[in-house]
Structure 1
Amino acid sequence: MAATLRRTLRSPLFRCRLSPLSTTTSADNPKPSSSPSDTTSAAKSAIRLESDPDRLAALFEAAARHPSFYGDRPIYHISIRKLARHRRPDLIERLLEGAKSDPKAPKSEGFLLCLLSLYADAGMLDHAVRIFEAMPGLGCRRSERSLCALLSAFLKNGRVDRLQEAFDRAPGEFGVTPGVASYNVLLKALCVISEVDRARSLLDEMPERGIEPDIICHDTVLDGYLRKGDHAGFEKVLEEISRKNLSPDTGTYNCRIAALCAKGNSLEAAELLEEMKTNGIQPDRISFNVLIDGFRKEGNMDSAMKVFERLKAVKRPDGGAMSPNFRTYIVLLQGLVEKAEFDKAVEICRECLERKWPPPLETVRGLLDGLTKSSRVEEAKDVMARMRKAIRGDARDAWKEIEAAVSLSEAPK
C-alpha cells in the first residue's frame, strides 16, 4: 500500500490533477494561486473525475491539508461513496480515521456524526459504532442527535435487533434519554420488519413514557399500514391525526396519495395536490412520482404526462426547480412504451439519457421493437446510438445482445 501511494504521488497524472489544489507562492507567481473555496472546488472536481481508488484517496488526503476542506461535507460523501463502490473499506477507514484524528478537523458533534453516517453508508457498521463510543474521549458530549445517528446506522444496515438494544441501553449506558426523534427511528425499524402492530402499540405507549408523538411519528406508522395493505389500520391513524388536531404535513399527504393510487383512484389522489396548495403544504418529488405511477398503472398516460410537466414547473422553498429524478423518467418511459405512445417515449428516453441516466435495458428494448415495427428506423438507430454511449460497465455486454437482437434491417419498409 505504501509503495502504491508513493508511485501515485510521483505520477505525472496525480501531479497534474493535484496542481489546482496548490496555494503556494513562487517568484513568478507572488500571489496565492487559489483561494480556499477554489481549492475545495478543485478537489471536488478532481475526486469526481478520478476512477482509481488509490489516487482518489491520495487526492482526498492532499486536499485535507487545506483549512476549508473540513467544512465541505459533499467531498466526504462523494469520496466514500466511490470507494464503497470499489469495495475498498481499507481506504475508507484510512480517510475517515485520519479525519477523526487530525488536529485540524473539528471535533464537533456534527462532524463526528458525519463520519459515523459515512461508515454506515459504506456498510461498515462496527466502525460507525466505534465513532459513537469515541465521542466522549474526543471531548464531544453525546446528545439525542447522536443517539438518532447511531440508531439510523443500525436501521440502514438492517440490524433492528441492535437498534432496539441500543435504544433500551441509551439512558443508563450512554446517558441519553430517547426523545421523539429516537422513537421515530424505532417506529420506522418496526415497520421495516413488518411489525406494524408493534409500532402502533409503541405509538400509543409514548405518552405514558412522557413522550408526545408528533406528526412524523404518525406518518411513519401510517406508511407502515400502507405498505402492509391494512386499510383499517391506515384509516384509524388518519382519524387519530384529526382527533389530536395534528397538522398534516407532506408525508401525511404522500401516504394518502399513495393509498388512493393503490385503489385505482389516481384522479382523486391528484385533487390532494390542490388541497396541499390550499393548506400551504409543499408537495415533494415523492408526491408527484407516486401520482405519475398511479396514472401509469391505470393506463392514463395523458394525465401522467400532465403531472410530469407540473413537477418540472414546481419551485422548491429555496427557489430552485424541483426536477424529476431517475424514477420519474423510468415510470413514464415504461408506461409510454406499454401504451405504444412512441413520440413521447422517444422524447422521455432522450431527456433521460441527456441526464446520463440510462433506462432499464428491457424497457429500451421494448421501445426499439415498437419503433422498428412502426417503420421508425431512424429514431430507433438514434436511441440505440445514444444508449451505446451511455452504457457503462457490465451492462455493455447485455446491451450488445439487445442490439444484435433488434434487427433494424428487417423493419417494415
Structure 2
Amino acid sequence: MSKVGSSLYSRLHGIFKQSPINTVKPAKTISQTKSKKFVSKSKESKASSASAVVKSSNDAKGTKDTKLTKKVEKFKRSCESESFRQVHGLYSAFIRRLREAKKFSVIDEVLQHQKKFEDIKSEDFVIRMMLLYGYSGMAEHAHKLFDEMPELNCERTNKSFNALLSAYVNSRKVDEAMKAFKELPEKLGITPDLVTYNTMIKALCLKGSMDDIVSIFEELEKNGLEPDLITFNTLLEEFYRRDLLAEGDRIWDLMKSKNLVPNIRSYNSRVRGLTRNKKFTDAIDLIDVMKSEGISPDVHTYNAFITSHRGDNNLEEALKWYSEMKEKGLTPDSVTYCMLIPLICKKGDLDTTVEISEEAIRHKVLSRPNMFKPVITRLISEGKIDEATQLVKDGKLQSYFRHLPELSTGEKKTSSSPVEACLLDDEESA
C-alpha cells in the first residue's frame, strides 16, 4: 500500500467533501392520455374504413411475427452446433437485435434454450448468458440464473458473482446491485475481489453518491486491495463527464501518486472534459504530453474535438481535426460521421457531404438516426434523385439496414421509391 500522504480514504474525502456530484436525474416520462371519440351513425362508413386499416395493420404485424419466429427457430437450431456456441459475437448480435426490437420474452426464450446443452455446466458459458440478460435490462433474470447454477451443476465463484453485479449495473439497477453486494458474499462464502469493487464503483458513479464511493474505497483499502487503473479510469470518466475538472485533476494526481501510468482511456476522459468546456489550448497541450509518454491519440481523442466544434457549428475546425485523424491513419467511426455529415449538410456543401457519406458506407459504419437522412433529403430537394437513390442502395449494403427493420415492432409505411424507403429505415433505426 502506498505511503504517500495520508490514507486513501482521507485523501478521497478531502477531495470530494466540498464537491458533491450532482446526480443526473432521468427525464420524466410524460404519460399521454387519449381522449375518447364518439362516432355518430353518419360516420359509420368511416368507421368501416378504419376497421379495414386496423385489419391490414394486424395482418402486417402477423407477418412480422411469423418472420421473427422463423429467425428465432433458425438461431436455436444453429445453437445445436458446438462450434456455433463458442462464438460469443453471434449471441451478442442476435440478442442486441431482439433487445432493440423490445422482444424481451423472446430473449428469455433463446437464453433458456441454452440450458439443454452441456455448456451450461461451464461457469463462463453461464456468465455470458447473465451478461446478455444484463445488457437487455433483464437483471432479475440474470439473478434467477445465478441462483439456479448449483442445480445446473455449475460452480459459483467470484467470476459469476461479479457478472451478476455487472448485469445489474448494465441494467442501471444500482440499488439492486448494492443489495446483492452487501448480502450475497457472506451468504455464499464469496470474498469480493478488485473486480467486485471496480464494478460497484461504476455503479455508484451512475448513482452519483459521493459518500458511498468514499465508503467503497475505504472498504477496498481495509481488505488489503489496491485500486488499479480501471478503478481510477472509472472515476476520471465520471468526474470529467460531469465537468468537475478540478476534482478530476485531483483524482489524476492521486492515481499518479499510486505509481499508476495513465493510458489512452485516462487521457481521453481528460481531453473530453477539456474540450467540452472549450479549453482547447489545454487539451492540445495534453495531447503533446500524451505523445511525449509514447501514447498516440486515437479516434476517440479526435472525436472529442470534432464533437465540441460541431456543437459550436464550427465546420472549419471540425474538418481540421477530421483531416488530421485520417492523416494519422485512423478510421473514423460512427460518432465522427454523426457529427460531421449533418453539420456539413447544414453548412451547404452538398458535394462534400455526399463524399463523406459514401466514405462512411465504405467503412461499413453503423448508421445512427439522422446520419444519412439530411444529405438524402437535400439531394431530393435539389432534384438529384439518381445520386440519392445510389446512396440509398449503397447504404442498404450495411447489415444495420438489412437486418434491424425486419425485427421492428412498428408498422413500416409503404413508399414509392427506394429513397423514401431509406428515410423510413433511418427514422426507425436507433
SS in 1 for 2:121: coil
Corresponding residue for residue 315 of structure 2: 301
Q: Which residue of 1 aligns with 2:99?
A: 84
* Divergent runs of 4+, >6 A: 393-396
C-alpha separation between the residues in 2 aligned to 1:268 and 1:79?
A: 43
**Separation of aligned partners in 1, 2:247 and 2:130:** 36
Alignment identity in percent? 27
Q: Contact 1:312 / 1:324 at 8 angstroms: preserved in 2?
A: yes
Give the structure 2 partner of residue 162 of structure 1: 176
Residue 202 of structure 2 is aligned to residue 188 of structure 1 = yes
User: Distance in 2 between the 1:398 and 1:340 partners?
Assistant: 30
Q: Could you list the per-position Cα deviations for residues 278-320 of structure 1 after superposition, in whole angstroms to 9, with x for gaps in the alignment?
A: 42335444333223212333555344334334545667xxxxx
Q: Is the 8 A contact 2:357 2:372 kept in 1?
A: no
Partners of 2:77 and 2:380 lie apart in 1 by 51
Following superposition, the deviation at residue 239 of structure 1 comes to 1.8
Task: Identify the residue that residue 334 of structure 1 maps to in structure 2.
Answer: 342
State the shift of 1:326 in Å. Answer: 1.8
Work out the CA distance in 2 between the residues paired with 1:95 and 1:370.
43
The DSSP-based 3-state class of the residue aligned with 1:137 is coil
| Mapped partners of 1:216, 1:200: distance in 2 | 16
Which residue of 1 is the match for residue 117 of structure 2?
102
1:171 aligns to what? 185
Distance 1:62 1:272 in 2: 52
Native 8 Å contact 2:275 2:283 kept in 1: yes
- CA shift digits 1:237-276 (9 cap, x unpaired): 1221222222112221011101210221335424544433
Distance 1:163 1:300, change over 3 A: same
Correspondence for 2:360 = 352
Superposition pairs of residues 2-401 of structure 1, within 5 angstroms: 52-103=67-118, 105=119, 107-196=121-210, 198-281=212-295, 283-312=297-326, 323-353=331-361, 355=364, 357-358=366-367, 360-361=369-370, 364-365=373-374, 368=377, 377-378=383-384, 382-383=387-388, 386-387=391-392, 390=396
**CA distance 1:151–1:329, change in 2 (3 Å):** same
Q: Is the 8 A contact 1:119 1:127 kept in 2?
A: yes
Aligned residues of 2:136 and 2:171 also touching (Cα < 8 A): no
- Other structure's SS at 1:173 match: helix
- The alpha carbon displacement at 1:182 in A equals 1.3
Structure 1 gaps of 5+ residues are 1-49, 316-321, 404-413
Matches of 1:311 and 1:140, distance apart in 2: 47
The code of the aligned residue for 1:265 comes to K
Query: TM-score, structure 1 length as denominator?
Result: 0.71
Count of residues in Structure 1 that have an aligned counterpart in Structure 2: 345
Residues 282 and 148 from structure 1, CA distance in 2 versus in 1: closer, same or farther, beyond 3 angstroms?
farther
SS in 1 for 2:82: coil
Instruction: Give the 3 Å change call, closer, same or farther, for CA 79–236 of structure 1 in structure 2.
Output: same
Would you say the 8 A contact 1:151–1:166 is kept in 2? yes
Distance 1:270 1:143, change over 3 A: farther
Once the two structures are TM-superposed, the CA of residue 399 in structure 1 deviates from its matched residue by 9.7
- Report the Cα offset of residue 167 of structure 1: 0.8
Does the CA contact (< 8 Å) of 2:228 and 2:260 recur in 1?
yes
